[in-house]
């Protein structure tokens, strides 16, 4: 039997192991479980936790946004429609918490296609750079920098997405001398 539900506290240890294996770099899962337990959801197969999705209220004050911090279905159970079901349940939980928009930073490739298929819209491309060489390059470039942010030791260039299909993330990242990049997606909840 397959079930999607809020993960009970008794399964947090299993959740942490799933996150370590499939979502490395997530350091704050314990804090998310403590602060947003109603938005920590799991996909269960015969009572075994095989997938998870979780997030937190966006830090932008006054906005009814919620950030999806991680979503994964364990192999070999992935790529079978379960991720979409898990995401839909997560969206309902977020809506029930009175948030009306979900945003997320996406890995590339099939992950971007997954979000688009599930109704998410790319709104920004963020490129991490280590130096100021990008400043001269943006003049007259088809994809100019709209905003500058900081992420640790990196400068984060924020580019608006007007035509996702025309934006080659790797080419833009290379042009600006970036070390990494990702698209930010959002979905307004009905």
pLDDT digits (tens, 9 = 90+) for 13-67: 999 999 999 998 777 899 999 999 999 999 999 999 999 999 999 876 566 899 9
pLDDT tens-digit map of 6-15: 999 999 999 9
Q: What is the largest CA-CA distance in the chain?
A: 58
Q: Which domains does the chain carry?
A: 2-99 (3.40.630.30), 121-185 (3.30.70)
Q: Find the mean pLDDT for residues 63-80.
A: 92
The reported pLDDT for the residue numbered 75 is 95
Give the three-state DSSP class for 80.
coil
CA distance 63 to 114: 25
Q: Which of the given ranges, 36-45, 131-140, 146-155, has the highest pLDDT on average?
A: 36-45
Q: What is the DSSP string of 72-94?
A: EE-TTS-SSSHHHHHHHHHHHHH
Q: What is the pTM for the complete model shown?
A: 0.92
């Amino acid at each position: 039997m397959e079930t999607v539900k809020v993960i009970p506290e008794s399964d947090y240890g299993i959740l942490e192991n799933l996150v370590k294996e499939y979502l490395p770099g997530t350091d704050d899962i314990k804090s998310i479980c403590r602060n947003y337990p109603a938005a920590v959801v799991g996909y269960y197969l015969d009572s075994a936790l095989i997938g998870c999705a979780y997030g937190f209220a966006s830090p932008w004050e006054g906005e009814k946004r919620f950030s999806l911090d991680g979503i994964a279905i364990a192999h070999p159970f992935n790529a079978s429609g379960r991720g979409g079901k898990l995401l839909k349940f997560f969206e309902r939980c977020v809506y029930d918490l009175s948030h009306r928009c979900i945003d997320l930073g996406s890995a590339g490739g099939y992950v971007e296609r997954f979000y688009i298929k599930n109704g998410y819209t790319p709104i920004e491309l963020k490129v991490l750079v280590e130096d100021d060489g990008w400043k001269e390059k943006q003049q007259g470039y088809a994809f100019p920098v709209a905003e500058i942010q900081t992420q640790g030791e990196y400068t984060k260039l924020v580019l608006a997405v007007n035509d996702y299909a025309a934006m080659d993330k790797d080419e833009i990242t290379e042009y600006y001398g970036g070390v990494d990049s990702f698209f930010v997606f959002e979905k307004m909840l009905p």
